[in-house]
Amino acid sequence: MNEANGIISVIKPLQWTSMEVVRRIKRLTGQKKVGHAGTLDPQATGVLPICFGQATRVMEYLVDSPKSYMALVHLGVTTDSYDAMGQVTETRDASYVTEQHIGAALEKYRGVFPQVPPMYSALKKDGERLYNLARAGKEVDRPPRDVEIYDLRITRWTPPEVWLEMQCGKGMYVRSLAYDLGIDLGCGAHLKELTRLHTGPFDISTSVTMDQVEEACQDGTWRSLLFPVDFPLLKFKAAIVQRDKEEAIKRGQGIYLGLPPKIAPTNDLYRLYSVDGEFLALLHPGKARGLWHAQKIFKLRQG
């Protein structure tokens, strides 16, 4: 079977782990090189990009890309995992909380702020996953990390529950946001539901369910669900080269693209294509002005 190269934007089912989605899709498609771009907790649902073949090499750009969520926060009940799957640790009266109180409390979470990650997370402490330590009844210090929320707003208030929609950067834990909001309001809180609406260029409106994936695998049309390998990279500028420069890049040599400095800042990347439209490489600028080197080379031609 030829290796598939591309990305399926899947809506992760509730109660599935992200790796369960990967394993199921590997069995259905018969593909060996499959991975996901950005873990979702079992209680969360929503957009989970599944990468095949050469597309597994662009997963880092998806993991680092902005994401948006719809979160349901339940006030007055605190859990050890900060979400609905954990054990209740405290129950308090939240009847005094108003939508205005919540709006005021959310102000400090817009922009960059320090956040302490939850114990029930895949982060490591001295080589051990935090969730393993938490399950053993241990709690360790977790240094706060700077995270960023670009947009945060209340979309619905039905006491004692509030719906929040947000767009955030890498590493922001919505569970921790719910927990911290509960502390700020003085009543405690936990994350009851979470849906990822988009990650990078992938949106829930153009994603498919696992049932649709299974159906496409049964009738042999699952490759039609694939987005191209370069889809997550469209935010970068593009260049087209003739055959001689194409071969030079494949040999690991640098090439001159003749791009003026304003178009080619030193921290930028470029998508490189052949004259017949094949995606060849992702380039980064070299030390010499106008010289570009391959950061990643892609082999998308079969055979």
Provide the CATH number for the domain around residue 214. 3.30.2350.10
Query: Is 93 in the same domain as 161?
Result: yes
Which residues make Cβ contacts (< 8 Å) with residue 158, sequence separation at least 6?
none
User: Would the pTM of this model clear 0.75, i.e. be above it?
Assistant: yes
Q: Total domain count for the chain? A: 3
List the one residue out of 123, 107, 117 whose CA is nearest residue 174: 117
Centre a 10 Å sphere on the Cβ of residue 113 and count the other Cβ atoms it contains: 15
Query: Is 71 in the same domain as 61?
Result: no
In a domain, 230, yes or no: no
Task: Give CA separation, 286 vs 149, 279, 295, in Å.
Answer: 33, 20, 10
When pLDDT is cut at 50, 70 and 90, the band that residue 29 belongs to is very high
Query: Is 143 in the same domain as 243?
Result: no
When pLDDT is cut at 50, 70 and 90, the band that residue 169 belongs to is very high
Residue 149 reports pLDDT greater than 60 = yes
Query: Is 177 in the same domain as 73?
Result: yes
In a domain, 231, yes or no: no
In a domain, 171, yes or no: yes
Q: What confidence score (pLDDT) does residue 303 get? A: 41
Residue 11 reports pLDDT greater than 90 = yes
Residue 18 reports pLDDT greater than 50 = yes
Query: Is 74 in the same domain as 176?
Result: yes
Query: Is 241 in the same domain as 259?
Result: yes
Query: Is 52 in the same domain as 107?
Result: no
Q: Which of 41, 83, 180, 230 is catalytic?
A: 41
In a domain, 16, yes or no: yes
In a domain, 92, yes or no: yes
Tens digits of residue pLDDT in 241-260: 898 998 998 888 888 886 65
Tens digits of residue pLDDT in 196-216: 999 999 999 999 999 999 999
- Angle among Cα 251, 253, 256 to the nearest 5 degrees reads 135
* CATH number, domain with residue 264: 2.30.130.10
The whole domain housing 218 covers: 6-65+201-225
In a domain, 267, yes or no: yes
Query: Is 92 in the same domain as 61?
Result: no
When pLDDT is cut at 50, 70 and 90, the band that residue 121 belongs to is low
Q: What confidence score (pLDDT) does residue 127 get? A: 66
Query: Is 210 in the same domain as 61?
Result: yes
Query: Is 51 in the same domain as 121?
Result: no
Secondary structure (H, E, C), 179-194 = HHHHHHHCCCEEEEEE
Higher pLDDT, 81 or 122: 81
Helix, strand or coil, per DSSP, at residue 177: helix
Burial class (CB in 10 A: 0-12, 13-18, 19+), 107: exposed
Q: What confidence score (pLDDT) does residue 142 get? A: 79
In a domain, 258, yes or no: yes
Q: Please identify, among 167, 190, 225, the residue that sits at the C-terminal boundary of a domain.
A: 225
Query: Is 19 in the same domain as 55?
Result: yes
Q: Is 141 a catalytic residue?
A: no
- Structure-token match 């990390």, residue found: 145
Least confident of 11-15, 175-179, 185-189, 246-250: 246-250
Question: How do 237-241 and 270-274 pair as beta strands?
Answer: parallel
Query: If you average pLDDT over every residue of the chain, what do you get?
Result: 90
Query: Is 71 in the same domain as 59?
Result: no
Q: Please identify, among 199, 217, 252, the residue that sits at the C-terminal boundary of a domain.
A: 199
Residue 122 reports pLDDT greater than 80 = no
In a domain, 303, yes or no: no
